[in-house]
Each structure stands twice: as structure tokens, then as C-alpha cells.
Chains A and B, each alone.
Chain A
Amino acid sequence: MYTLPNKLKLFAIIFMVVGALGMIGGFLAVPADVEEVKTMMASHDDGHGGGHGDATAAHGDGHGEAGAHAGEDAHGGDAHYEHVLGQLQNRPWAAVYVACFFFMMIALGALAFYAIQYAAQAGWSPVLFRVMEGITAYLPVGTVILFVLLLLSTLHFNHLFHWMDADLVNPDSDKFDKIIAGKSGFLNTPFFLIRAGIFILGWNLYRAISRKYSLKLDETNDPAYFKKLFKFSAGFLVFFIVTESMMSWDWIMSFDPHWFSTLFGWYVFAGMMVCAITVIAMVTMVLKSQGYLEFVNDSHIHDLAKFMFGFSIFWTYLWFSQFMLIWYSNIPEEVTYFVTRIEDFNLLFFGMVVMNFVFPLLILMNSDYKRVNLFVIMAGIIILAGHYIDVFVMVMPSAVGTSWYIGMPEIGALMFFFGLFVFVVFTALTKAPLLAKANPLLKESKQFHY
């Protein structure tokens, strides 16, 4: 049995407290009205020098009303300041949302990976099942927090999801947006919440069932539970790939309700899987270094590192496919998505490709390096940072636009959810023995050697 070290508990709590303070600070720092925005912008004008026209023009597509106002008075007037105010008010919310989604997606990806291991009857991974179960223990916590955030958005506590503004679908309003109104059959708040509820319930149901049967299998030594796990995992994977795809439309793509991309679900999935496998590898190495997983050898780490390498390249393949197809055809309604990202998020947008592709490619290509914990941890940290930026770049351009910055609210939210993640995961690891001892494939897994 694993016992939670007090130091780790303290470490997690410190992260949560400091992160929470950062988040609260972020909410307090939001300007209350247009006057405050004006004084703020006057005090550091070089940052926004000459950016008035650009800012409104670049975001005209994402914010229907802003585009309309920009037409009326592109320079001066309060319309631009109102626009910036909206962005600044969104910023702490978006920071929380990105960090929350990032850690939720790690747990969800780990759950999908776990289901794949059962469905494929993988012989190498059973020794890691309890580690994976520990990571997926964050899923109930993460999804509930995310659901609360979505609920707050639908109740108009924030303006993250632009399409939730009722005026946009009201033909009598001067904010009426024909495109969003045309999508309101899918993008309407009740249906949105029902869908979110179904996704979250389905995932958590599989997580609860698989954990229960996994423990029952150990308790009773009855292979019937293994068969049940196999069937539930196969069923979950079908459910997962449908809901994951729709989840990515709902929870990320609908930030830009004027934009659409067909492979977006796969793209989010690839990022999710690479993060999840990285976290599985990192937690395994941490536990192994503390002497808890004596049955895990460097071949297991080698396999996980291979998955990290492979999925990093798969992610890059999808990133490039999405980017290149849109860049090549250059259709105005699609390409604005990348125009804003390249203009306003240039370093992040291309930097993350370097972090998520070039680094893993060069570090993890060598078979010997994949067995060295230090290299895998290093590659893992870069991959995780890169994919946080990936989510950041998916969400921020339409939530805060040019007013983005990685400062107190963003780092605070990241620290808070990191602390929470560590706390929940390592607490869950203490709840069961770290070796799923009755698994029929366990012996093969223990002797696994590559």
C-alpha cells in the first residue's frame, strides 16, 4: 500500500492556496467600467499603441457586436474600450477555464488509454493499471468543476461563450447574428448543458464501474470481472470517441462560433492522449523512485515513452493537417482563425509546435534515452507545458483576444488545478494496492521486457 507522504500533501496544499490567491487576485484586478480601462490603457500605451483599429478589426469575426461597432466608429469612441473591457473581464474566467480543462483532459485521456489497454488485452500494462486508476480519480473532480464553470457561463456570470448572448439570436435586436442564429439548433444553452451532463455522466460511470470491477477482480480472483471489464472498456471506447468529438465542439470550438473544422475532435484527442500518457509515465517514475513499484522495469517506461513520442507526432500531424489545409485554401471564413493566432499569439502558436514536436522528436527518438528517467521527465515537462499552451491558444484568442498575457490569473489557475490534481491523484493511489494482482495478464506484464 502506498501512503501519502505529508510533504507531498503539504506541497499540493501550498500550490492550491497560492493558486487560489492568484485566481482571486485575477478576479479583483478586473476593471469595473470603461473609465478604468481608459486609464489603464493610457498608463501603458506602448503595449496598445496604434492597436485600436487592429484590435477591433481582428476580432470582428469572433464578436459580432464589436465588428458592428467598429464599423460605426473605428477610432475613438467608447466602443473599442467596451470591447477591451469585455476581454479583460473574460481574462480571469478564461484562465480558470483553460487550467481546469487542461487537467480534466489529462484524467479523461488516461481513462481512454486505460480502456484501450483492457480492450486490446495489452500484456505489458497491467502493472500500471493502478497508476492509471489513480490518475483517472481526478476525472469526477475535474468534470464537476468544469460543469460548474459551464453552468456559470450559461447563467451569464461571464462572457466566455459568445453565442450564449440571447441578443445574438434575436432577429429584432441590432446585435442579431445570422450565422450564430443559424447554429442555434445545436448551440443553445439547455441542449449544451444536457450534452455536457451526458458526456460527464457517461465518462464517470465507466470510471466508477471499471474501478469497482478492478478491485472486485483482486478481491475474488474471479475472471468473470475481467471479461466484464473487457466488455465495458470496448463499449466505453465507442461512447468516448463520439462524446470526445462533440465535447471538443462544445467546450472549445464553440468559443469561435463562426468557425468550424472537421478534424478538430481528433486534434483535441491527440493532445489529450499525449498529455495523459506523459502524466502516467511521470507518476510511475515518481512512485518507482520512491520504491513503490518494484515490478515496473525500464521496459515499461520505454513503452510509455514510445507512446509519448508516437502521440506527439500524431498530434503534430493533425495540427499541421488542420493548419495547412486552411492556409492553403485560404477561405476567408476559415482562415481568420489562424490569422488571429499568427498575428496576436505568434510566439505561443509556433512555440508550442516546437515544444510538442521538435523536442519530443529529438529527445525521445533514441531507444536508450527512452529508458533514462531524466530524459523522459524532461521531455514530459516540455510536452505538458506545450499542451497547456495548445489549450491556451485554442481558447484565448476568442475569449480575451489581444488582451492576453500569462500573468497572475493564468499561473494562479494553473497552480491551483495542479495542486488539486496532485492531491486527488496521490490520495486515490493510497486507496488500493499498487499492483492489480488478479489480472490474468499480470505475469506477462511483470516479466515484460523489450
Chain B
Amino acid sequence: MASKVIHALYTDDDILLNAVKETRKAHYHIEEVYTPFPVHGLEKAMGLADTRIAICSFLYGLVGLSVAITMMNFIMIEDWPQNIGGKPSFSYIENMPAFVPIMFEMTVFFAAHLMVITFYMRSKLWPFKKAENPDVRTTDDHFLMEVDLGGHSAEEVSKFLTGTGATELKIVEKESDH
């Protein structure tokens, strides 16, 4: 089903932030906001849920730590416990200080890389991805708020958005996929 949305353009992040708050208060549905740079407090104003990527990262770190421990325990202690320069290879704990640098690096490596990959997957970013930019100016100096018309009339919403400081309004037919 095709749905109609209004693209409201703003030229200042403070005005945008206020507009987002007012629009939410007036119970219009904000589909998306496009900005050229991170606007502090925008996600709070939009009422977006907190990210859980830090929790993911912590768990990935634990995976990395386990990989490092399992790997070195098998290689250095179980598989071929050689005497290398007098280091005690009788048990993992006895030789642990020598393994700590690797345990640390593997934890960081897994936590960082898997978190980044998670970020790409969740935000659907990859090379050759088609840009979803509704207006090229939003990467330079304009801010765009996409408001779902829903059951409201176009005039009503347009009037409201002009009141919030929008400099330009555009009604767009959108092939809806949500």
C-alpha cells in the first residue's frame, strides 16, 4: 500500500529539535529524521529506545576471552607441553602471566570487531548499498523530518509543520514497506 509522507526541511538543529518535540506532542508520527551530523538529544526527543550494542560488545569480549584461553590451554598445556625457556607448562594457571597479553588482545579484538559488524548489520550498511537519502542537502546543511500523514489531511499537517519552523515542505508518495 502506498502511503503519503511529508518531508519537512529545517536549516538549524535547535529548530529541528524543538520541531521534533512539538510534533511528538501533537501525536503526529515521525517516520524518520535525516541530519548531516549527530544532533545531541535527538534520539531522546524522538523517543527512540537505547542501543544495546554495549551489551553485545561485552558478550563478544567474553567470547574472545574464552577463545584465547581454550586455544592456549590446548596448544601450550595439553597438546604439546614443551619446556620453553623454563616456563612452567604443567597447568594453565602456572603459566598464565605469559598468556595474559594474548587473552587481553583477543578480548578487545572480538569485542571491537564483532560489535562493528553487529552495527553494520543492524543499521543495514554495506558496500554498494543504495543510499536512502531523500534529499541530497541533508548531508550538507539541511535537516529533514519525515512525518507520516496517516489519517490527517495534508493541509492540516503542513500548517502545523510550517508553524514549527520548517522552511520547505514536500508531500511524497511512498512505496511503504513497513
Contact = CB atoms under 8 A, between A and B. Distances in A.
A327 B94 CA distance: 11
A324 B86 contact: no
Contact of A323 (B54, B58, B86, B97): B97
A327 B58 contact: no
B105 to A, nearest CB: 13
Contacts of A365: 58
Nearest to A330: B86
Contact of B100 (A324, A330, A367): A324
Nearest to B101: A324
A330 B54 CA distance: 39
A320 interface: yes
Contacts of B116: none
A418 B86 CA distance: 46
- Chain A contact residues (Cβ within 8 angstroms of B): what range? under 10
Contacts of B86: 330
B98 interface: yes
A331 to B, nearest CB: 12
A320 B100 contact: yes
Interface residues of B, number: 6
A328 B97 contact: yes
B58 A328 contact: no
Nearest to A327: B97
Q: What's the dominant secondary structure at chain A's contact region?
A: helix
Interface string A320-346: 100110011010000000000000000
B72 to A, nearest CB: 15
A270 B58 CA distance: 25
Contacts of B54: 367
User: Mostly helix, strand, loop or mixed at chain B's interface?
Assistant: helix
Contacts of A324: 97-98, 100
Interface string B62-92: 0000000000000000000000001000000
A327 B95 CA distance: 10
Nearest to A323: B97
Interface in A348-367: 365, 367
A328 B98 contact: yes
Interface in B82-121: 86, 97-98, 100
A327 B99 CA distance: 12
Contacts of B58: 365
Interface string A297-339: 0000000000000000000000010011001101000000000
Contacts of A320: 97, 100
A367 B98 CA distance: 32
A303 to B, nearest CB: 17
A324 B86 CA distance: 15
B96 to A, nearest CB: 10
A367 B97 CA distance: 30
B174 to A, nearest CB: 37
Interface string A2-24: 00000000000000000000000
A338 to B, nearest CB: 10
A395 B172 CA distance: 75
A26 B144 CA distance: 75
A365 B98 CA distance: 26
A330 B88 CA distance: 12
Q: Among B54, B97, B98, which residue has the most Cβ atoms of chain A within 10 A?
A: B97
Contacts of A330: 86
Contacts of B97: 320, 323-324, 327-328
A367 B53 CA distance: 13
B45 to A, nearest CB: 15
B164 to A, nearest CB: 25
Nearest to A365: B58
A324 B54 CA distance: 30
Contacts of B100: 320, 324
Interface string B30-71: 000000000000000000000000100010000000000000
A283 B3 CA distance: 58
Contacts of B98: 324, 328
A367 B50 CA distance: 12
Nearest to B98: A328
Nearest to A367: B54
Nearest to A317: B104
A329 B58 CA distance: 33
8 contacts: A323-B97, A324-B98, A324-B100, A327-B97, A328-B97, A330-B86, A365-B58, A367-B54
Interface of A: 320, 323-324, 327-328, 330, 365, 367
Given A324-B97, A324-B100, A330-B86, 9 more contacts: A320-B97, A320-B100, A323-B97, A324-B98, A327-B97, A328-B97, A328-B98, A365-B58, A367-B54
